[in-house]
Amino acid sequence: MFKVTIDGVQTEVEPGTSILQAARKIGGHHVPPAMCYYSKLKGSGGKCRVCLVRVAAGSEKDPRPMPKLVASCVTPVQDGMVVENLLSQEVLEARRGVVEFLLLNHPLDCPICDQAGECHLQDLGFEHGREGTRYQEGRRTFKPIDIGPYIKLHMTRCILCYRCTMVADQLTPNRVHGIMWRGEVSEISTYIENSIDNEFSGNMIDVCPVGALTDNTFRFKSRVWFTKPFDAHRECPTCSGKVVLWNHGNEIYRVTGRKDTYGELEEFICNTCRFEKKEMGDWVIEGPRTINRHSVIGQNHYDAPYQGLLKPGNKRSLMAAKTEEVQN
Ligand code: SF4
Ligand code: FES
């Protein structure tokens, strides 16, 4: 086992574990944010750079710091590695820069976006974003389009994380969409519009960290925090049938997979469960779903103890804040 220290807390992990996974083993504020990495999708990570951390000591054998910040989701730990996440001002500054880049073309349309309340970019902007934008050039704009009967694509909101293409590659027999072109003109596109209709395609909606892919059967029905989530299951011949029902009274507004603390699906579900079973009689209710994530869905649970410290001019050190947190 390798020993690794993240923001002063030590843990032991198997060789080959990434820094991000080691941080998840510790949990809490030690975990860097992740917009493209998804532990259930092979090959994910390394695209968005929000998970940057500083390696203050490479290993026990070679304790020199790494010369640049590294993406924690794709960097394996070494024995004796010392990593700084929230304790490094350089990391926080870099993350602010990454968020600013991610928001260059992203519309601030949270008030009308179905993803609001469970959007990772919204959380990231709150925790690491700047208050204003310095971007003055023209922004990319696209019209929302249907890519299949159940999925609406808002390309303006896409951050090109590649998760949806990985779902298509790894869960469906034929991928019919992908990222076209390079650089500033890159976009998600289908070979033939309206062609995504595979039985597991709905999982793209759940893995999309922003509101680029939304559920056509739920659009504009309700803000997500006005719905009540319940764990429920059914006998399904295609998937595990374990889902979350998002209800308004006795009406099922939306069905999604169950997500863990990091917003990742515990299991992928089929389109029949997701889109076609909207009667209470279709499901066995297990009980209310607790939303652990520090998101708007768990109202008043927004928790960003370091927010004030990220503002320029604030002289209080992050180490002091961390010490206070540990003492309290
Ligand atoms: S549509 Fe969503 S999941 Fe797909 S690349 Fe864009 S942001 Fe990622
Ligand atoms: S989560 Fe590591 S680069 Fe995107």
Nearest to 246 by CA among 211, 221, 268, 213: 221
- C-alpha 255/C-alpha 97 separation (Å) is 35
Q: Is residue 45 scored above 90 in pLDDT?
A: yes
Same domain for 227 and 210: no
Tell me the CA end-to-end span of the chain in Å, nearest whole number: 31
Residue 225: inside a domain, yes or no?
yes
- C-alpha 242/C-alpha 234 separation (Å) is 7
Confidence at residue 328, expressed as pLDDT on a 0 to 100 scale: 43
Same domain for 160 and 228: no
The enclosing domain of 151 has a CATH number of 3.30.70.20
Q: Is residue 28 scored above 50 in pLDDT?
A: yes
List Cβ neighbours of 81 (8 Å cut-off, separation of 6 or more). Answer: 2, 4, 5, 19, 55, 57, 58, 59
Confidence at residue 17, expressed as pLDDT on a 0 to 100 scale: 97
For residues 207-233, average pLDDT: 93
Q: Please tell me the distance between residue 316's alpha carbon and the centre of ligand 2 in angstroms.
A: 28
Range of the domain at 6: 2-101
Residue nearest to atom 1 of ligand 2 (CA): 34
Q: Is residue 197 scored above 80 in pLDDT?
A: no
Query: Cα separations (Å) of 159 from 88, 156, 186, 194, 232?
Result: 25, 8, 10, 21, 32
Confidence at residue 290, expressed as pLDDT on a 0 to 100 scale: 80
For residues 202-207, average pLDDT: 96
Q: Is residue 321 scored above 60 in pLDDT?
A: no
Same domain for 273 and 227: yes
Same domain for 249 and 169: no
Residue 310: inside a domain, yes or no?
no
Torsion of Cα atoms, 19 then 22 then 27 then 33, to 10° = 20
Share of the chain above pLDDT 70, in %: 87
Residue 285: inside a domain, yes or no?
yes
For residues 30-53, average pLDDT: 96
Same domain for 96 and 6: yes
Q: Please tell me the distance between residue 20's alpha carbon and the centre of ligand 2 in angstroms.
A: 9
Among 220, 251, 267, identify where a domain stops.
220
Chain segment 263-318, per-residue pLDDT in tens: 999 999 999 999 999 999 999 999 998 876 555 555 544 444 444 444 444 444 44
Confidence at residue 126, expressed as pLDDT on a 0 to 100 scale: 86
- Which 3 state secondary structure label does DSSP give 14? coil
Closest ligand to the CA of 157: 1
Whether residue 74 contacts residue 162, with contact meaning beta carbons closer than 8 Å, is answered with no
For residues 213-235, average pLDDT: 93
Q: How many domains does the chain have?
A: 3
List Cβ neighbours of 5 (8 Å cut-off, separation of 6 or more). Answer: 11, 81, 82, 83
Residue to substitute in 19, 21, 31, 37 for testing ligand 2 pocket (most ligand atoms within 8 angstroms of CB):
37
Chain segment 116-148, per-residue pLDDT in tens: 988 999 989 988 888 888 989 999 999 998 988
Chain segment 1-16, per-residue pLDDT in tens: 999 999 999 999 999 9
Among 164, 197, 220, identify where a domain stops.
220
Going by their DSSP bridges, the two strands 242-248 and 251-256 should be labelled as antiparallel
Same domain for 207 and 234: no
- C-alpha 45/C-alpha 42 separation (Å) is 9
Residue bearing tokens 């011949």: 237
Three-state SS string across 253-287, please?
EEEECCECCCCCECCCCCHHHHHHCCCHHHCEEEE
Same domain for 146 and 68: no
Compute the mean pLDDT over every residue in the chain, rounded to the nearest whole number. 87
Residue 164: inside a domain, yes or no?
yes
Q: Is residue 254 scored above 50 in pLDDT?
A: yes
The enclosing domain of 23 has a CATH number of 3.10.20.740
Same domain for 77 and 144: no
Among 184, 205, 220, identify where a domain stops.
220
Q: What are phi and psi of 309, to 5 degrees?
A: -80, -15
pLDDT confidence band for 103 (50 / 70 / 90): very high
Going by their DSSP bridges, the two strands 145-146 and 177-180 should be labelled as unpaired
Share of the chain above pLDDT 90, in %: 67
Residue 315: inside a domain, yes or no?
no
Q: Please tell me the distance between residue 96's alpha carbon and the centre of ligand 2 in angstroms.
A: 14
For residues 69-81, average pLDDT: 97
Residue 169: inside a domain, yes or no?
yes
The CB of 277 under 6 Å from ligand 1? The reply is no
Q: Is residue 76 scored above 80 in pLDDT?
A: yes
Residue 229: inside a domain, yes or no?
yes
Residue 300: inside a domain, yes or no?
no
Ligand 2 pocket by Cβ (under 6 Å): 34-37, 45-51, 71, 73
Same domain for 140 and 74: no
Higher pLDDT, 317 or 169: 169
For residues 151-172, average pLDDT: 94
The CB of 159 under 6 Å from ligand 1? The reply is yes
Same domain for 256 and 183: no
Q: Kindly report which listed range (56-60, 166-170, 178-182, 246-250) carries the lowest average pLDDT score.
A: 178-182
pLDDT confidence band for 261 (50 / 70 / 90): confident
The CB of 208 under 6 Å from ligand 1? The reply is yes
pLDDT confidence band for 255 (50 / 70 / 90): very high
Same domain for 25 and 97: yes
Confidence at residue 190, expressed as pLDDT on a 0 to 100 scale: 78
For residues 83-96, average pLDDT: 95
Confidence at residue 84, expressed as pLDDT on a 0 to 100 scale: 97
Confidence at residue 174, expressed as pLDDT on a 0 to 100 scale: 80
Same domain for 61 and 40: yes
